A and B are shown apart, each in its own frame.
Chain A
Amino acid sequence: MQAPVQYPARWKRPPQIFTDPLWRRILFVGAAVYLVLALSTVDPNWARIAEGWQRGLRFIGGFLQPDFTSRWRDISNGLIESLTMTLTSTVVGVLISVPIGIGAARNVAPPAVYYICRGIIAASRALQEVIVAIFFVAMFGFGPFAGFLTLAFGTIGFLAKLLAEDIEDIDESQAEAIRATGASWAQMINYAIQPQVMPRLIGLSLYRLDINFRESAVIGIVGAGGIGATLNTAIDRYEYDSAGAILLIIILLVMAAEYSSSYLRKFLQ
């Protein structure tokens, strides 16, 4: 006769992510120590915050009652700069990133070209847009031209990388079929690769157009033109009602861009 197995009367939920009890304890203690250390470096100046509270309320007031009219000339100039910069930089960025994207695809490019193109992509992705903008402003002077170059440079890293990954994922049988007809490399790209990646390339370009507009609102802070410069000026002048108006315009345009670009992408695919 076997003794009856003692089952526990209460069920306890097993741990979810960190299953080893020792590691769990180490992680908890480590996190607690880090939190104490990190919080001790934050040294809030309460007097300044209490003083700024008034300003915060004025800012919220400005947001609720935005003033579009008194700085409309500056706002519209900034907007035109941002929008034109967005379009030109996306077009130029896409034109440059197509050859780089083809060169960075392992299945169509020779190894030497592959490593050069991957290097260009890595350089463009590692540098933040704002830092690139600082350098372009120092080289090309203030204004939207520097912003245009920054956004085009950022577009290359994003688009060429995704395009290269897409080319590497294509259906090989079509490329093989075209190659079997005796087609040259250029014909193979044109008839086997291009039809397969074109819908996605257009989708990615639209997505990048959307990102470039968002970024164009930021790089103006370091002098690269666009609506960000106008916003920075408005905040520096303590004109919170104008700043509220600019922020509302940015939010509305970003939302419009996001929805129309996602709608267009759905429509194209």
Chain B
Amino acid sequence: MTDTAHPAVWRRRTPLAALLIWAGWFALVVLFVFCWHVMNRNTIWEFVWDAPRQAADIGDRMFPPRWSYLPELLVPLWDTLNMATLGTLLGVILAVPVAFLAARNTTPSAAVLRPAALFVIVGSRSINSLIWALLLVAVMGPGLLAGIVAIGLRSIGFIGKLLYEAIEEVDTAPVEAVTATGASRAQVLDYAIVPQVLPAFWGITVFRWDINIRESAILGLVGAGGLGLKLQASLNVLAWPQVTVILLVILATVVLSEWVSARVRKAII
């Protein structure tokens, strides 16, 4: 009988695995250093070292906030809320049919319409709403409408993706039961699938509404109305005390909408 020679010290990995992992981390470090050099080719380091002084300067100018500016912000705030809500509504109206076309169990044609619907979802998701707004302002002119359409187009992808995943996960037993009564396809959809995805639908919509409030607050930077427009105007004239007030209003709105959305989602699910 022979004893296999056990190493005196326990090792988690074989030498080869350890070497490979080490090589992977080393490659990451090399890539990082390379990217850092390429990125900072045109960086003016004097400005970077100057940053603490600039920060102190801006901070100095930002306080105290100019509270008398607050009444002027009420209309833009209302505009921002409307932009988010109407944009969400538009997104929902467009996203629901897309989601039903994209779900494997409800799509009328898996060969043509499903890939088309999936492409719509991916295309809408990969362009940020600020870029959508940039394009739409160029086409439609500045104003609330461009912002609403931008928010709506961006929401299609988000709502569509989550909704079609919810539709694909429905329990098949009710579907079979309703089908067995001789129901048409539309009736199966109405009585077996819709009631199952309705809570998910409301949850997704409120969640997206919350995100849209955040996004619509800054869409004005490219000319789409709301609080962002005021922010841009104040930044252009370097009115830092006004910027502080606007940022605080945005922050309060975002926190409030997040609280509302969390409460609603908790109540539904």
Contact = CB atoms under 8 A, between A and B. Distances in A.
A42 B134 contact: no
B247 interface: yes
A83 B217 CA distance: 27
B112 interface: no
Contacts of A258: 126
A141 B218 contact: no
B54 interface: yes
Residue among A59, A80, A127, A140 with most chain B CB within 10 A? A140
B195 A45 contact: no
A48 B141 contact: yes
Interface in B96-136: 122-123, 125-128, 130-131, 134-135
Give chain B's interface residue range (CB within 8 Å of chain A): 35 or more
B141 A84 contact: no
Interface string A36-58: 00110111110011011101100
Contact of B39 (A13, A45, A144): A144
B54 A55 contact: no
Nearest to B79: A41
A231 B134 contact: yes
Nearest to B126: A254
Interface string B31-47: 11001101110111001
B143 interface: yes
B145 to A, nearest CB: 5
Contact of B48 (A45, A48, A59, A145): A145
Contacts of A180: none
B102 to A, nearest CB: 16
Summarize B's interface: helix, strand, loop or mixed: helix
Nearest to A238: B138
B214 interface: yes
A143 B141 contact: no
Given A138-B58, A141-B48, A80 B218 contact: no
Contact of B247 (A17, A56, A131, A222): A131
A19 interface: no
> Which 4 residue pairs are nearest across A and B when measured between Cβ atoms?
A141-B47, A48-B141, A254-B126, A84-B35
Interface of A: 13, 16-17, 34, 38-39, 41-45, 48-49, 51-53, 55-56, 59, 80-81, 83-85, 87-88, 91, 126-128, 130-131, 134-135, 138-141, 143-145, 148, 214-215, 217-218, 221-222, 228, 231-232, 235, 243, 247, 250-251, 254-255, 258
Interface of B: 28, 31-32, 35-36, 38-40, 42-44, 47-48, 51, 54-55, 58, 78-79, 82, 85-86, 122-123, 125-128, 130-131, 134-135, 138-141, 143-145, 148, 191, 195, 198-199, 202, 214-215, 217-218, 221-222, 231, 235, 247, 250-251, 254-255, 268
15 contacts: A16-B198, A49-B141, A52-B140, A53-B139, A59-B138, A59-B139, A84-B35, A85-B39, A91-B28, A130-B221, A139-B55, A139-B58, A235-B134, A243-B135, A251-B126
